[in-house]
Amino acid sequence: MKPSKFHSNRGWDNWLLYDIGDKFLEKYSSYYKGKLVDLGCGEAPYKEYFLQYAQSYTGVDWTKTLHNSKADIVSNLNEKIELPDGIADTIVSVSVMEHLCEPQIFLNESFRILKDGGVMILQVPWQWWIHEAPHDYFRYTPYGLKYMFEKAGFYNVQVEPQTGFFTTWIVKMNYFSGRFIRGPKPIRQIVKTMLFPFWLIGQIVAPYLDKLDTNWAAESQGYFVLAHKK
């Protein structure tokens, strides 16, 4: 089962990003062990996937989320997380930290609830538009991410870009063109049909064009972080 199989935001204009995200989540699958805590779980789209590996899943989110929250624990991630010290073997957090006004507190708390020897896997966007406004506060460089994780106490912090220049900007253009889909349903369907070939072809060729980019970190769509607690 692919991680994004049941993700409601996957569409023809952005499927490549979810395929890339799947590859990263699968890459880290050996770390999904014991008690897994999903911080900022929203609709918990990855719950079934994580439970293929972990013994248990706990979703944590706050009541102000714009999603139909399926959190097991309601907690404001900008403050003390309502979980005891050292409860989690693994922490995951996907596209959440950009929405937190106190990200360092979030990482400090993540470190607190993680067991010794545990890992945290986090994804954040970088070259991306403002979304879920007004709760969209920050974008993070690889250097900023490493600094903040180490400040929280993590070690062996690895930051990896998700995409190169072409995937980032082709999908951004897909989103931009999609904003022109307006009006009555028949008109929207016609415009969508006209745009579909451009969305499809662009996402097919983007990974090949990315091979021309020798510095993915500079304009990646986002980053994955793998960090350890001693």
**Which amino acid is it at 177?**
S
Q: Which residue has the tokens 């996907």?
A: 94
pLDDT beyond 90 at 62 = no
Q: What backbone torsions phi and psi does residue 222 show, to the nearest 5 degrees?
A: -170, -175
pLDDT beyond 70 at 67 = no
Of 18-22, 62-66, 170-174, 177-181, the range with the lowest mean pLDDT is: 62-66
pLDDT beyond 90 at 40 = yes
- Cis peptide preceding 142, ω within 30 of 0: no
Q: Cα–Cα distance between 14 and 16 in angstroms, integer?
A: 5
Beta-carbon contacts of residue 146 (< 8 Å; ≥ 6 apart): 157, 159
The model's pTM: 0.92
Q: Cα–Cα distance between 104 and 148 in angstroms, integer?
A: 7
Beta-bridge partners for 73? 60
pLDDT-derived band at 10 (thresholds 50, 70, 90) equals confident
Q: Report the mean per-residue pLDDT for the chain.
A: 94
Q: Cα–Cα distance between 203 and 208 in angstroms, integer?
A: 10
**Which amino acid is it at 18?**
Y
Higher pLDDT, 145 or 11: 145
Q: What backbone torsions phi and psi does residue 37 show, to the nearest 5 degrees?
A: -115, 125
The 8-class DSSP code of residue 131 comes to -
User: Is residue 214 helix, strand or coil?
Assistant: coil
Q: Cα–Cα distance between 213 and 190 in angstroms, integer?
A: 35
Q: Cα–Cα distance between 104 and 79 in angstroms, integer?
A: 10
pLDDT, position 9: 75
